[in-house]
Every structure is written in structure tokens, then in C-alpha cells.
């Protein structure tokens, strides 16, 4: 897999104009203009850059996930360093919007270098992009114009600080708008929870729990075709519980059924549930139920 360590080498590969700054590039379509189009296709590649892009699809066919989104004016996409990128020539379109790419070293020594790692949307898949309302578009575009103005001006001692300040503002607004998107997509959130629960039920009933052990959140997310971070954020917003907590609830419910079989020891129950160590299962059960597996079994017998 090809990896690009600099902005210039990455843009050269895409066939785009070289940047005005060695660690930063800004492309912004204005009026009737269009963004420069990159190469039509690419095998998997990675780079050391953050990318923030806002795309309005003008011509061509693009299936943007399987979900019917509430805001279709434009999609804001965030890509972190070393994420694998790939596309083919089945998607041919002209686009308006903007694209900002900056090397991770551009943030070194700044507060944003650590803050940016807290924004989960840099780990979302493309079909989980942020869809903006017209009012939100204007707010984001205003910030980008400020960034572009500094980018195009002659660099001085204040340029980098101003640009990073504007990037910080842009990310804060994006975080706010994602919060809105989660709240406005109750149907999507409910559907995701249903798919999560259905997959776990099928996994348990098919015997994969005993065969393969407890699935990781990453494996579950992959099976239901979402990114791990988006799944976690969506379920947390909708239910107040993390994906791990939902997984634990399924395991405890299954444990209760097996514990009612008196011919099985606690160790056998733990093994059947995919736990490598019985004490870990017992601790989790007590944490969730307030009593140990043995006490639960005894309590059931008394009833």
C-alpha cells in the first residue's frame, strides 16, 4: 500500500495543484467555480494528513451510503491521518465546496494537537458524514473563507496561529452540528440499535459465541456496516449506554438462561458465554446484577 508523508507528494499523486504552504492546502470553489477533480481512481493509499472536505454533488452518480438523509445540501467529511482511502472510476462527478488538508505536524506544539484526537467524527465512515442545513453551510463557509484568506496571504508570524484558531472553531461547530444530527435522526438511531441487537442475537443463537468467543465492538460494527466510533456515539446518544454496555447486557441475559440449568458449573457457564476466565464473568455479573452468579442461581431456586 502506498503511503504519502507530505502534502505535496499526496497532491501530486492526486493530480492536484501544489500547496501554498508545505503543511497546508486549501481548495475552495466560489461562485460558479468547481473544485479541481482528483484522479478518477486509486488503489488503497494512506497519508499523514487530516482532511476536512465539504462536497456538493453537482453531476454524476454517487450512492452515499444506504440511508436517506435529512439534509442533502452538502456533506462534511473528516479523514484522519493513516486512514485507508480508495475509490474507482464508477464515480465521476463535478463538485462544489471546499477541501482543507493539513499535515499532522502542522498542529505540533498547539492545544489543538491533542483536542483534535477527541473528535470521534474523524473515525467515521464516508456514509456517516455530517449533512448540513443551509444555515449551517453558511457558518462553515464563513470560517473556511477566513482560513483561505490567511492561506493565500503572504505568510507572517501570525498566520499559523490564526489558521489553527479558525480550524479549532470549525471543528467545534462540526461537533455541535453532529449533536444535532444525532438528535434529528431518531429513526436511524433506532434502526442501528435494532441491527446491533439482531446481530448479537444471531451470533449467540448460531453457536458462534462458544466457537469464536465474545465478539469485539469492531467486529460487530463491521458486520452491520458502520464504523466503530459512529456506532458507539449513536447508541450513546440514543440510549445513554455505550456499545460495550449493550454487549454486556446481552451476555448477562444469556447467562441468566444458562444459569437456570443446574447441571452446569459457574465455570462451564462462563466458558459457554465466551469468557476465558471465570472470575471475570463472575465480577461482570455481580456488577450488573448486584449478586454473584451462584447467588442468582440460589435465589431462583428459592422462587
- Give the pLDDT score at 65: 36
User: What is the spatial distance between Cα 303 and Cα 296, in angstroms, rounded to a whole number?
Assistant: 11
> For residue 222, what pLDDT is reported?
87
State residue 11's pLDDT score.
93
- Beta-sheet pairing, 85-87 with 42-47: antiparallel
Classify domain 2-184 by CATH number: 2.60.120
Q: Left, alpha or beta for 5 (phi > 0: left; psi -120 to 50: alpha)?
A: alpha
| Backbone angles phi and psi of 296, in degrees to 5 | -65, -45
Rounded-to-integer distance, Cα 242 and Cα 232, Å = 6
Domain range list for the chain: 2-184, 187-302
Q: Which three cell numbers stand for residue 161?
A: 496561529
pLDDT of amino acid 167: 97
All residues at 6 or more sequence positions from 154 whose CB lies less than 8 Å from its CB, including other chains: none
- Give the residues across from 77 on adjacent strands: 53
Indicate the CATH number for domain 187-302: 1.10.10.60
pLDDT of 173 = 94
Question: 269 burial class (0-12, 13-18, 19+ CB within 10 angstroms)?
Answer: buried
Residue-level pLDDT at 61 = 42
Q: How far apart are CA 192 and CA 222, in angstroms?
A: 13
Q: What is the pLDDT of residue 66?
A: 36
* 209 exposure class (CB count in 10 Å sphere: 0-12, 13-18, 19+): buried
Cβ distance 11 to 18 under 8 Å?
A: yes
Please provide residue 45's backbone torsions phi and psi, each rounded to the nearest 5 degrees. Answer: -135, 165
186 Cα distance to chain centroid: 18
Grid cell 464516508 in the structure block, residue: 126
Q: Which residues of the chain have pLDDT under 50?
A: 58, 60-72
The edge-to-edge listing of strands for the beta sheet with 130-131 is: 24-28, 95-103, 49-57, 75-79, 130-131
What distance in Å separates the CA atoms of residue 179 and residue 241, rounded to the nearest whole number? Answer: 16
pTM score > 0.75 for this model?
no
Amino acid at each position: 500500500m502506498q503511503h504519502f508523508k507530505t502534502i505535496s507528494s499526496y497532491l501530486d499523486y492526486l493530480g492536484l495543484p501544489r500547496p501554498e504552504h508545505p503543511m497546508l492546502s486549501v481548495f475552495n470553489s466560489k461562485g460558479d467555480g468547481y473544485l479541481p477533480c482528483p484522479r478518477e481512481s486509486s488503489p488503497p493509499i494512506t497519508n499523514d494528513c487530516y482532511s476536512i472536505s465539504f462536497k456538493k454533488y453537482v453531476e454524476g452518480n454517487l450512492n452515499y451510503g444506504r440511508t436517506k438523509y435529512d439534509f442533502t445540501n452538502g456533506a462534511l467529511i473528516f479523514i484522519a491521518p493513516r486512514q485507508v482511502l480508495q475509490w474507482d472510476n464508477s464515480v465521476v462527478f463535478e463538485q462544489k465546496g471546499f477541501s482543507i488538508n493539513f499535515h499532522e505536524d502542522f498542529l505540533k506544539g498547539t492545544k489543538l494537537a491533542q483536542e483534535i484526537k477527541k473528535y470521534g467524527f474523524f473515525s467515521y465512515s464516508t456514509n456517516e458524514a455530517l449533512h448540513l442545513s443551509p444555515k449551517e453551510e453558511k457558518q462553515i463557509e464563513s470560517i473556511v473563507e477566513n482560513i483561505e484568506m490567511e492561506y493565500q496571504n503572504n505568510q507572517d508570524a501570525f498566520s499559523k496561529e490564526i489558521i489553527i484558531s479558525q480550524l479549532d472553531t470549525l471543528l467545534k461547530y462540526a461537533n455541535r452540528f453532529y449533536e444535532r444530527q444525532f438528535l434529528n435522526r431518531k429513526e436511524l438511531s433506532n434502526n442501528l440499535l435494532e441491527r446491533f441487537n439482531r446481530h448479537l442475537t444471531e451470533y449467540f443463537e448460531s453457536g458462534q459465541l462458544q466457537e469464536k468467543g465474545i465478539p469485539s465492538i469492531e467486529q460487530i460494527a463491521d458486520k452491520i456496516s458502520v464504523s466503530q466510533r459512529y456506532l458507539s456515539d449513536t447508541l450513546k446518544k440514543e440510549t445513554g449506554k455505550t456499545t460495550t454496555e449493550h454487549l454486556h447486557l446481552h451476555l448477562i441475559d444469556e447467562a441468566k438462561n444458562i444459569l437456570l440449568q443446574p447441571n452446569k458449573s459457574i465455570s462451564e457457564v462462563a466458558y459457554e458465554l465466551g469468557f476465558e476466565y471465570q472470575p471475570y464473568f463472575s465480577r461482570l455479573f455481580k456488577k450488573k446484577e448486584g449478586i454473584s452468579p451462584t447467588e442468582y442461581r440460589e435465589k431462583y431456586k428459592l422462587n
